[in-house]
Amino acid sequence: MPELPEVETVMRGLATVLEGRRIAHAITTRPDLRWPFPPGLAARLTGAQILGFRRRGKYMLMRLDGGHSVLIHLGMSGRMVARPVTDRANAPIAHEHFALETADGTRVGFVDPRRFGSIDLVPTAAEEAHRLLAGLGPEPLEAAFTAAVLSAALAGRRTPIKAALLDQKIVAGLGNIYVSEALFRAGISPKRLAATVAGARAARLVPAIQAVLAESIAAGGSSLRDYVQADGGIGFFQDRFKVYDRAGEPCDHCPGPPGCDGIRRLVQAGRASFHCPRVQR
DNA sequence: AGAAGGCCCTGCGTGC
DNA sequence: TGCACGCAGGGCCTTC
């Protein structure tokens, strides 16, 4: 579910309810998600003050006093649900595996049916050295992510550009939806060999990635299935997908049949890609 | 070394 | 209405 814009949106929502607060209670309802929780997680969080948040790729980092940060990944189906502590007694939420309660009466639950998410603790001073963050590529919305940087990372890669952009070591934070959307905007076929995305193509792709991510963040991310923001609000960017999950529909640039058969779905590396064969080369 | 496929897990939509 | 099947936003691990 959550790609960079959704993680960014969730993180901003969490910041509004948690930043500066102290954790009165931390609760785990099982010993693990994708991996075991760090030993004594709940006890180590109880009493800590939450100083701030940042995002790295699809990971959120919640900085605590005491020198540690909580590293959170939402996986495929992870949500953060914030509500008054008192509501929880009346209506427990299924698949809430971890929760924080603040002294001022807010409960934030990590809800993740598929349990592909993860939670870990990392020393704040060494966040980037964590095994899950150490190999990540550049942040796509930062100035350091340039066409030159991207084409250098793609050089020699004999894999489709679709697969390369899903590789978090090339660029951090893109997922299946935004890769399809960015390639459409850049006019690049998902089947194109990654190594051939250089020069003018890379120069189109970088701003296309940045624009689609920025627009989605501005819209509050995408809400698919049951995904909602921490405050219960929903994002609206899914209404602006140009190709994702739109197989058979005409694309924005084509007149439709007979000039074009519309948006096509194909499977690459086991995952659906959506593209317009006429616009994307 | 780089690339492809399997796998972790639950829920939902589709078609019979 | 029930059930089997395929598919889903991610990413690690194994195999080739």
Query: DSSP assignment of A193-230, as one string?
Result: BGGG--HHHHHHHHHHHHHHHHHHHHTT----TT---T
Residue A257 pLDDT > 80, yes or no?
Answer: no
d(CA A152, CA A274): 26
DSSP A33-51: SSSBPPTTHHHHHTTPBEE
Percent helix, strand, coil in chain A (nearest 5)? 30, 25, 45
Rounded CA gap, A45 and A182, in Å? 39
The number of angstroms, rounded, from the C-alpha of A97 to the middle of its chain's C-alpha atoms is: 20
- Cβ of A157 less than 7 A from strand B: yes
pLDDT category at A131 given cuts 50, 70, 90 is very high
Q: Is A123:A68 a contact under the CB 8 Å cutoff?
A: yes
Q: Do residues A198 and A251 share a domain?
A: yes
* A142 within some domain: no
Are residues A120 and A178 located together in one domain of the fold?
Answer: no
Identify the weakest region by mean pLDDT among A38-52, A78-92, A123-137, A150-164.
A78-92
Last residue of a domain, one of A99, A129, A159: A129
pTM: 0.95
Q: Which of A129, A161, A195 is the last residue of a domain?
A: A129
Specify which residue's alpha carbon is closest to the C1' of nucleotide B12. A225
Does residue A117 lie within any of the structural domains? yes
Give the separation between CA A103 and CA A138, rounded to whole angstroms: 37
Scanning every strand, the nucleotide with its C1' closest to A75's CA turns out to be: C10
Q: What pLDDT sits at residue A270?
A: 87
Most confident range (mean pLDDT) of A88-92, A173-177, A230-234 is A173-177
User: Are A53 and A69 contacting, i.e. CB atoms less than 8 angstroms apart?
Assistant: no
* Residues A50 and A11 both lie in one domain: yes
Instruction: Measure A269 CA to B3 C1' (Å).
Output: 10
Q: Which of A55, A56, A58, A162 is catalytic?
A: A58
Whether A104 maps to a domain, the answer reads yes
Do A162 and A271 lie in one domain? The reply is yes
Q: What's the CA A127/C1' B15 distance, rounded, in angstroms? A: 49
Query: What tokens does A113 get?
Result: 């049916």
Confidence at residue A180, expressed as pLDDT on a 0 to 100 scale: 96
Shared domain for A117 and A157, answered yes or no, is no
Query: Which chain C positions come under 7 Å from a protein C-beta?
Result: 7-12
Q: Do A124 and A155 belong together in one domain? A: no
A248 occurs within a structural domain: yes
The answer to whether residue A226 scores a pLDDT higher than 90 is: no
Helix (H, G, I), strand (E, B) or coil at A57: coil
In a domain, A231, yes or no: yes
Q: Which residue among A97, A129, A161 closes a domain?
A: A129
Q: Are residues A254 and A174 in the same domain?
A: yes
Active-site annotation holds for A2: yes
Mean pLDDT of chain A: 91
Give the CATH number for residue A68: 3.20.190.10
My answer on whether A160 and A270 are in the same domain is yes
Same domain, A18 and A54: yes
- Residue A75: pLDDT band with limits 50, 70, 90: very high
The answer to whether residue A73 sits within a structural domain is yes
Q: Is A135 part of any domain?
A: no
> Do A152 and A117 fall within a single domain?
no
Mean pLDDT of A153-175: 95
Indicate whether A24 pLDDT > 80: yes
Nucleotide nearest to A179 (CA to C1'): C9
A206 in any annotated domain: yes
Residue A45: C-alpha distances to residues A4, A66, A81, A99, A132 (Å): 26, 10, 18, 11, 21
- Catalytic residue list contains A255: no
What is the three-class DSSP state of A88?
A: helix
Q: Is the CB of A156 under 7 A from strand B?
A: yes
Q: What average pLDDT does range A97-116 have in this prediction?
A: 94
DSSP summary character for residue A254 = -
CATH of the domain at A207: 1.10.8.50
Angle (nearest 5°) at CA A102 between A96 and A108: 25
**Residue range of the domain that includes A14:** 4-129
Beta bridge mates, A81: A109
How many domains does chain A divide into? 2
Helix A176-186 and helix A199-218, axial crossing angle in degrees, nearest 10: 130
Flag whether pLDDT at A225 surpasses 60: no
